[in-house]
Structure 1
Amino acid sequence: MRKPALIVIDVQNGIDEASHWGGNRNNPEAEENIGLLLKAWKKNDLPVIIVQHCSVSPASPFRPGYTGNELKDFVKPYAVGKIFQKSATSAFIGTDLHKTLQDIGIDELVITGFVTNNSVEATARMAGDLGYKNIVVSDATAAFDKIAIDGTHYSSQQVHTLSLSHLKDEYASIRTTDEVLASLIIPI
């Protein structure tokens, strides 16, 4: 029987400080979709992994001791076990996430959270390299506008789409929340 783990990356209050990240966030419904997935995982007694970014940058909204570092309220009830705290982009760097997943027999990950072209992409790439079968949930992740090195402005939707395109097929399957929920063994 499939036992995919839901990975919830950096769903913290500081993500709402949009100007820090580049502004104009896409997927305003990402938190709602993450909430739906969390409820389905709990109902189906599937493993949930909460990842919290603890930045070493004193200007980061994710720095420890700042309110932005706190998990969003809707995630807190699901953070009943260990929270994987990281200071790098990938949830596997500086944590025992890989060992924990191996210990509980997980080989499939459903990845959600922030920011698509940063921690979500880095985690999915490394998970793929470690041999996990990955699904990145396109509408349960989000990105922000980005200014390229040549000064070109890319919208958050363009950044998001390109990041998911980098992952598609080589590192992960890309699915919507509805598609992931429909694929669970026990319907919600």
Structure 2
Amino acid sequence: MSNRAVLVVDLQNEYWPSGNFSLHGIEAAAANAARVMDDARAKGDLVVNIRHEIPGGPIFVPGSAGAEINDAVRPATGEPVITKNFPNSFRDTGLSDLLKEKGVEEVVVVGAMSHMCVDATVRAANDLGYKTTTIHDACATRDLDFDGITTPAAQVHAALMASLASAYGEVISTDAFLAR
């Protein structure tokens, strides 16, 4: 096994058009995430599947179809699945212990939502000392509203990826990553 892990953050049914909180471009992002996952499996990298649950919440209800990982990125037999209740995939989960146990030094992040759980996870991984790569076209988000202003998903995503690229590791495309 290598010292790299792919963290697949919250690619759950809730974010698909049939879910309760659909994201712009989720199908394309998941297809790219699946390519990254397949490459990681072929190279012996650890693939960690992360799923969000909100007990008592209106979405990601434990046991619901929306909280299930989408079939496009279904975990392989034996792959770890981490359940979290906060945007940061490291907070109050066994993720850090798992990565330490496996000797991971580098994480590659794909998933949803760019501006929330991907952001929190990338920043935490970087703060914990991991070399961090975010695959920008394997992540998705949605339009955001603030103070009467709607920011389109493409702009939310671009702003977030620019922020991560400035201080929290490499941000590249799926094709560029797989070409290495």
TM-score scaled by length of structure 2: 0.92
- Counterpart CA distance in 1 for 2:165 and 2:2 is 21
Aligned to 1:170: 167
Distance 1:145 1:20, change over 3 A: farther
Distance 1:166 1:68, change over 3 A: same
| SS, match of residue 147 in structure 1 | strand
Shift of 1:79: 5.5
Distance 1:48 1:116, change over 3 A: same
- Counterpart CA distance in 2 for 1:101 and 1:24 is 29
Question: Following superposition of structure 1 onto structure 2, how do residues 97-176 of structure 1 map, counting pairs within 5 Å?
Answer: 97-148=95-146, 150-176=147-173
Shift of 1:44: 1.2
Gaps in structure 1 of 5+ consecutive residues: 184-188
Q: How many residues align?
A: 180
CA deviation profile, 1:112-141 (whole Å, cap 9, x unmatched): 000000000000011111111111101000
Distance 1:75 1:170, change over 3 A: same
Corresponding position: 1:53 with 2:52: yes
Q: Does the Cα contact within 8 Å between 1:136 and 1:172 map onto a contact in 2?
A: yes
- Counterpart CA distance in 2 for 1:19 and 1:123 is 23
Corresponding position: 1:16 with 2:16: yes
Instruction: State the Cα RMSD in Å.
Output: 2.0
CA deviation profile, 1:10-31 (whole Å, cap 9, x unmatched): 011111158854x661464111
CA deviation profile, 1:64-83 (whole Å, cap 9, x unmatched): 12100111113224252321
TM-score scaled by length of structure 1: 0.88
- Counterpart CA distance in 2 for 1:122 and 1:79 is 27
